[in-house]
Amino acid sequence: MSSRNSAIKVKLVAIAKDECAYLADWIFHHLYAGFAEIEIYINRTRDKSVELLEELSALDSRISWDRSDFVDMVPGSAHTKMQYITYALAYQKIIDDKNSDITHLMYLDIDEFWLHENPDVKISDFIKQAGRDVGISFCWINDYPTSDVFSPLRKEIMGIPLKLVKSVFPVKSALKMARPHQPLLKEHQYIMADGTKFNEDPSIKEHSTRHVGLPAFVYHRCLRSPTEYVSSLYRGRPGYKDVSLKTNRSGLPGSSEKLVTYTLNNSGFERYEQARESFMQRGNINQLKASGEEYVLQRFAQAVVALENSLPESHGKMLKLFANVNIPSVTHKIEAYHDELISRYSDKVELIRELALKAEAFSIFEARRIMSKALALRPEGPVINAKIKEYNEALAK
């Protein structure tokens, strides 16, 4: 293990499932950010992630990969704890390696990017300045979706500020529990990115009592674009093999969300983009990345079919899951199902009105469309007229 005065070296560990479209960008980003080693654990994967990781690890010795599918072989409910088991294993491997010079460890998902407002600042330099003997927690910023599919990181970071954190910690601190957001340490000392003490929200673990965005944060690209969001829904939830769509999502954010925008240092970002372009040209990285992108688009089509098949049995869940997704192939499936219900309801205006109210969870446009059909049947209805007015005012903003 490293000594007190040795150089700070941070290892980054992630678990990846069908992430071939995004792995190269994510790995480049964190190598550029100064992470000394990156280890990826592949699980339940059907795309070309393995081929890409073999290519990347052959090109750069700082990159390694392994499999975590062994967890699925354990009887009982162990498969629902994939993250905890894999992260604990990664930590133990560092501790057991007497030749390891890794001083710090961080767990991130492939849609999470550690970012400093100046891309020239490396994670090791940041830790040296903040304090090498304590953990450091960085608040999440959830991305706001853009129309561009497979877009790289941009200079302007716009998203929703959250108090949930991701953390880097010194490996010399005894790990009690490999929690994904803030690992529980024997001497549980964490500070925030601005150097102030981390205070945990007493009502929800691994959340700060306040959001700290600068000088560094974790950019959570969980949405990316509407197409990629819908595609991601088809991955299923770990431990829930009978569910083809992730039902623990809440759709895309609406226009009323509170957003923050951080602009990265201009000259630093220019150097970052130049380095990224050079990295992507190496070996077969771009070709394998393109294969991953095609897989994402195929999965999008599967998600739309799954939506159509799920509407009769899980109408309310589907409206929530696809909330604010304005993609024709998605909206057409939902509108067609609603038209089928309206036809079945005939002139039962109360049922049509209730359907419109239920559709609010998906889209105000769709709610207004359905409520207009109720209005045609009951032009003087006070509730119907009030809702039409409310929808019009909301859409006019």
DSSP notation for 157-192: EEEEEEEEEEEEEETTSPEEE--SSS-EESS--EEE
Q: Is 12 helix (H, G, I), strand (E, B) or coil?
A: strand
Q: How many residues does the chain have?
A: 397
Q: Rounded to an integer, what distance in angstroms lies between the CA atom of residue 219 and that of residue 233?
A: 20
Alpha-carbon distance of 26 to 108, in angstroms, equals 10
pLDDT of residue 5: 57
Q: Which two tokens stand for residue 348?
A: 């039962």
Q: Which 3 state secondary structure label does DSSP give 373?
A: helix
Q: Check pLDDT > 60 for residue 238.
A: no
DSSP string over 298-344: HHHHHHHHHHHHHTTT-HHHHHHHTTT---HHHHHHHHHHHHHHHHH
Number of helices (H), then strands (E), belonging to the chain: the values are 12, 12
**pLDDT tens, residue by residue, 180-230:** 999 999 887 899 999 999 999 999 999 999 999 999 999 999 999 999 999
For strands 10-16 and 37-42, give the pairing: parallel
Q: In the predicted model, what is the mean pLDDT of residues 172-187?
A: 92
In angstroms, rounded to a whole number, what is the distance separating the alpha carbons of residues 159 and 164? 14
Instruction: Please give the average per-residue pLDDT across 329-352, as a whole number.
Output: 96
The count of C-alpha atoms lying within 13 angstroms of the C-alpha of 206, restricted to the half-sphere facing its C-beta, is 15
Reduced to 3 states, what is the DSSP secondary structure of residue 256? Answer: coil
Q: pLDDT > 90: what percent of the chain?
A: 88
Per residue in 109-165, pLDDT (tens digit) is: 999 999 999 999 999 999 999 999 999 999 999 999 999 999 999 999 999 999 999
Query: Which residues sit opposite 40 in a β-bridge?
Result: 14, 65
Q: What is the CA radius of gyration of the chain?
A: 24
Q: What is the pTM of this model?
A: 0.93
Q: Are strands 175-177 and 184-185 parallel, antiparallel or unpaired?
A: antiparallel
Report pLDDT for 1: 46
Mean pLDDT calculated for residue range 310-325: 96
Higher pLDDT, 49 or 247: 49
Give residue 246's pLDDT: 87
Question: Which pLDDT band holds residue 2 (cuts at 50, 70, 90)?
Answer: very low
For residue 45, the one-letter residue type is T
Point out the least confidently predicted range of 22-36, 175-189, 271-285, 349-363. Answer: 175-189
Least confident of 252-256, 357-361, 381-385: 252-256
When mean pLDDT is compared across 248-257, 258-267, 377-386, the lowest value belongs to 248-257
Which 3 state secondary structure label does DSSP give 107? Answer: strand
Q: Over 90: is that where the pLDDT of 3 sits?
A: no
239: pLDDT confidence band, cut at 50, 70 and 90?
very low
